Amino acid sequence: MIKINKNSIFFNITTVFLISILFIGITFFAVVKYSEKRHKIFLKRKYSAIINTILFQLHNNSEKASKELKEKLANLNIQILNAQEIKKNSRNFKDMEHICNIHTSMYLMRVFKKDKSYYIFFKNPIFSIILKDNNPTMLNTKYILIALFIIALILFFSYISIVKKLYPLNILQKKVQNLGKGDLDIDIDIDGKDEIATLAKEFKNSIDNLKVLKQSRDIFLRNIMHELKTPIAKGRFLTKLPQSEENRDKMEKVFIRLETLINEFATIEELISRQNSIEKKEYFAMDIIDNALDILFEDEERVEIEEDERNVKIKVNFKLFSIAVKNLLDNALKYSNDKRVKVIIKKNKILFVNKSDKLKYPIERYFEPFFKNSETNKQSFGLGLYIVHNILTSHNMQLTYDYKEGKSIFVINFSS
């Protein structure tokens, strides 16, 4: 048994169109019946006038009156049937379509239709007569039928057009249901520029964003345990050793490493969850760098700041952008040969320059989470540039890398 959803848009549209067609049918029936009634009234008046004319002319009973009567009937294309025709047609009245009657105390008149002619049977106490109207005014419902057909056709194609336009809503409904079940492998291909097509495209964009978020979280779920295993295992091992000063220092370093990892993960989680709703305001670039140094707890003597453009402002999320700058400063100091870094503020970019070896891989590799060069720094988590890249991407900015004259140059490019 087919289940009908009475709340469905398609059910309601179909119901409206069916009611409209039914209303048109009823209206047509009423118009036809009204036309038939008006036509009968017209015939009664017409043929009553003709009969009265005949009676008047017969009452005069003159040759001139008889001639005038014949001329009038000829003009009206009315024929008086002879005795043989009267006898023949009297028997055939049963085969004719009865149109109407006029019955009075003085006479009886009955109108019949056959083919394209009307037959008028008149009878009174004195005589009876049958007239044949060879050129009658017929009731023509052809134009009403044509109008009804055109209206029905317009309604039908309107219905098909509307249903066709709304059909993608069925597809969207099923996709949303699948999304509710956790299925992100959704492909929507709805052409057009109307509201439904726009809605479908926006829905697809939302699905794509959810996929990115899910993939990002999956990456961390797969790697966090691996990153946490080493300090946890080391901590468990240290708990079994004698409680010496050296072991306590090692244990403290384990907890510091765990805390640092958790802070990095919290930053990444915040970035992932807020990447579509980041609030941005204009801040001085210098204020952001000062805040990043505060977060880093770094001695400003190791960081040289140069402003090519004074009072440069950047429209950013202060907290997240400060974390990105902090990570770039941290990386530059960590891998610098002289443990120093120079920050250059320009109109539409910030440069981080340090004396160091050239990166072994293209910078895009370092944007991957947990990608690190274990030979150079075993303490690195491989998350620094990953975080920087994602923060800058959420700000529609870009991080580039260059190496000149023994110096690594990381550049944040932005529009002033």
Could you read off the pLDDT of 156-205 as tens digits, one per residue? 888 787 777 777 777 676 766 666 666 666 666 666 666 666 766 766 77
Q: How far apart are CA 289 and CA 291, in angstroms?
A: 5
Question: Are residues 231 and 265 in contact, defined by beta-carbon separation less than 8 angstroms?
Answer: no
Q: Which residues of the chain have pLDDT under 50?
A: 1, 374-376, 378
Q: How far is CA 94 from its chain centroid?
A: 65
Domains in the chain, CATH or no CATH each:
9-133 (no CATH), 195-270 (no CATH), 278-413 (3.30.565.10)
Token pair 């291909």: residue: 189
Per-residue pLDDT tens digits for 288-303: 999 888 877 666 788 9
Residue 247 identity (one-letter amino acid): N
Cα–Cα separations (whole angstroms), residue 37 to 108, 109, 187, 207? 20, 17, 62, 66
pLDDT score, position 213: 67
- Round the CA-based radius of gyration of the chain to a whole number and report it: 49
Fill in the DSSP letter of residue 326: H
Cα dihedral 48, 51, 53, 54, rounded to 10, equals 180
pLDDT recorded at residue 349 = 93
> Residues 12-53: pLDDT tens digits?
777 888 888 888 888 888 888 888 788 788 878 887 777 777
* pLDDT in the model for residue 346: 92
Q: Are 96 and 88 in contact (CB under 8 A)?
A: no
Predicted local confidence at residue 375, as pLDDT: 47
For Cα atoms 224, 228, 231, give the angle at the middle one, nearest 5 degrees: 165
pTM strictly above 0.75: no
Q: Report whether 322 contacts 285 (CB < 8 A).
A: no
